[in-house]
Structures are given as structure tokens and as C-alpha cells.
Amino acid sequence: MIEAELASLVAASTPGTRELERECDAFARHYLSQGVEPQFDVASSNFVSDPFLICADRYWNLRFTAAPTLATAVECAGWATERIENAHRQPILEKWAIGYAFITRGTVESLPEIADATADIIANDDSDCSRAYFATMYHAGKLRANLSFDELSQFLESSPLATAAGAHREAPIFVALRSFAGFGSRRITTEYAMSLFEKSWTAPDRTHASVDIALHALEAAVPFDEQGTLLRAKAAEAIAEHPDNCLFHFRLALGAFLCDDHDAALTSIDDALRLLPATGWRSSHGLLSEQFLQVRRSILLARSDARRVTEQQRRLDRHEQAVAETAELARRSVIRAVELVAVFAAVIAFAVGSLNVTLNNNLDLASRLWLLVLFGGGLLVFALLIIGGTWWLTRSSAHRRRE
């Protein structure tokens, strides 16, 4: 009966509306109140228009909110194995594991609780280790949401639960989580974290979730050289593949911000705010909106500061140029003064000397004229030497300053 009513929504529903979500929420709560899991199959991974997937998503959201444990994760993975078509199962489970981990991030289970759950999971898991893998992703998602880098690294590298995931440990999302732990930890080198990042990023079977976590790893990393440039480039690649993802635009804005390209950062953060969905159960619209707006305010402040610093530098450059011009004018004035003094001294000396010669009655006129010529020539050479030496010294000093 419930399945028939839910099926009627397929024809009448409008994708992405709150009315559709309210209807699906009502069906999910009915299943929950009856103590039974949804009795329908999911044949798509469209979280916007498929009422069956939306209802299942809401149902498991309520289950995880009520009991945020590995046991719930195992039951969810078991239901997905039976009810979700194989072609759509991986992207749905990855989105559920990371999303439900985020909303229950304040309920990280203790090591004894994990150990007890792990024994049951290993004993009852299928041959494909799907339950252990989903449970691993769920717990790792909590540690990631809490930025518990070292705990996440230890859990993924050596915990029995993660080991029980088997071949799934090579999945791009698993490697991306290891990269996230490595970038954020101060005990792991950036080079090692980068190698994991590249392995996840270049994997031919990489998924939306693995790309998201890899970009988050670059954002949350301990600062390293070219961090902003790398985040900007990788976010641009992700946007080319998923142009409507608000988080990818958000991280593109952060990359541009780290590169001090404030205008580009402002454009990208505005795109992120425009694309932020107003509906959804695994994330908070209000929380993301506030986070985006806070980054936008930081970009605006940094942009204003950068412009103010640029203007101050421009004023300083103009002041330094004016000082340099004044100093050059003073230098030239000193040179002219020295030259004038040299000429004036030569003139005075010539006048005094010529007076003595002309008043000397012991010499004839020709001798006195000859003495005046010799005396005047010597004074002229003296003045020229003073002027030339001053010019050479000041020219050498000016050349050294330019160098």
C-alpha cells in the first residue's frame, strides 16, 4: 500500500521542491514508526527527482540520527545491497556514508565500541566486504568532519575494521581519505600526502565523493608552498566536471584567495552562494551559507586591505621620487656653486696679479704683457681643473647610485 502511494509521486512530483521532500519525509517516518525498512527498490542515483531514493535517503537519515552507530551503518549497507541496483549503489553509499557521518560527527564511537562492532561485522559480512567498507567510510567520515587527522590516519592504516574492507581499500574515496589525513597531520610529510592525492585524483574510477574529499584535503592541509595554486587548479578541474557543485566553487574561491586574487575569489564565492541548495538532509543550508558568507567577508576585507596597501605604496613611490629629484637638484646646485667659486677665485687672483705686474716699473710693456698672458693662462687651467674634477667626481657618484 505504501509503495503504491509512493509510486504515484513519480508522475506528479516536481523535482527539487520542498513539497516532494515533505511527502517523502512522511513516507519515511511511516516506515520508521512501523519498525520496518523500506520495501521498494531504488533504480537511480538522482537525489532530486527520484521519490524512492529521496524516501530511502530520508529514512536512513532518521535512522542514523536516532542511532549514529556502526551497527546502523551495517544495516544500511545490507539494505542497499538488496534494494539498490548495482550500477547506482556505489555513488549512493559514498554520499550516504560521508553525509550521515557529517550530521552525526559529534558521536564518534570509542575504541572498545569499534572493536566490538568490528567482530560482528567481520563474522557476518558478505564476500565482497561491502558492510565493513561502508562502516569504515562512515566512521572515517566522522573523523574527517571533526578534523581529527592523526586519528583518521591511524584508523585507516591499521584498524581491523578498515583492514576488513579488503580490496575496497584501493578505492579512490578510501585513498582520498588517507590523503586528507596526511595533509592535515603534522606527523606525515606533505610529499606522502601528495602522492596519495595524485593516486586518488588520477584514478580512472574516481567518484564525486572522492573528488570532494581530495579538494577538502588541500583546503584543510597544513600550509605548504603552492597550496593556493594547486587548490585553485584542481577545483577548476572539478568544476569543469561538476559545474553546479557549490562546494567546488567554494574551494575555487579559497584557492584564489590564497593566491591573493581577490576579484576572482569574490566571483567564485558568489557562485557558490548562488548554487547552494536550499533543500537536503545531509547538510545544513544555514551552516554552509554562514561558512560561505564568512569567507566572503574575509575576501572583501583582504581586498580592501590590498588596495589600501597598493595606494600607500604608490604614495611612497611618489614621495621617494620627489626626494630623489630634490637631492639631484641640490647636487647640481652644489656643483654649480663650486664651479662659480673656482672661476671667481681665478678672476680675483688674475686681477690682483695683473695689478702687481702693471705697477712694476722695472719691466717693459712687452714683458708685462707676456707675464699677464702666462699668469692668466695658469689661472684658467686651474679653474678648468677644478670644474672638470668636480664634474668627474659627481658623475661617478651618480653612476654608482644608479647601479
| Residue 84 φ/ψ, nearest 5 degrees | -100, 130
152 lies in some domain: no
Q: Which residues contact 345 (CB under 8 A, 6 or more apart)?
A: 383
What's the pTM value of the predicted model, to 2 decimals?
0.76
369 lies in some domain: yes
* 397 has pLDDT over 60: no
Give the separation between CA 269 and CA 261, rounded to whole angstroms.
12
* 12 has pLDDT over 60: no
364 lies in some domain: yes
Q: Burial letters for 191-220: b for 16+ Cβ neighbours within 10 Å, e otherwise?
A: eebbebbebbbebeebbbbbbbbbbbbbbe
- The string of pLDDT tens digits covering residues 124-161 is 777 778 899 999 999 999 999 999 999 999 999 999 99
- The string of pLDDT tens digits covering residues 65-97 is 999 999 999 999 999 999 999 999 999 999 999
Give the separation between CA 267 and CA 212, rounded to whole angstroms.
20
DSSP conformation class of 42 = B
Q: What is the pLDDT of residue 10?
A: 55
Task: Quote the number of domains for the chain.
Answer: 1
Q: What percent of the chain has pLDDT over 70?
A: 74
3-class SS letters over 197-239:
HHHHHCCCCCCHHHHHHHHHHHHHCCCCCCHHHHHHHHHHHHH
293 lies in some domain: no
Q: Which domain holds residue 348?
A: 330-402
Query: Beta-carbon neighbour count of residue 102 at 10 Å?
Result: 17
Q: How many CA atoms lie within 13 Å of 87's alpha carbon, on the beta-carbon side?
A: 3
3-class SS letters over 103-127:
HCCCCCCCHHHHHHHHHHHHHHCCC
384 lies in some domain: yes
Distances in Å between the Cα of 165 and the Cα atoms of 126, 159, 250, 278 are: 11, 10, 32, 35
- The string of pLDDT tens digits covering residues 319-368 is 777 677 776 666 666 666 655 565 555 555 545 555 555 555 555 666 65
Q: What is the pLDDT of residue 311?
A: 73
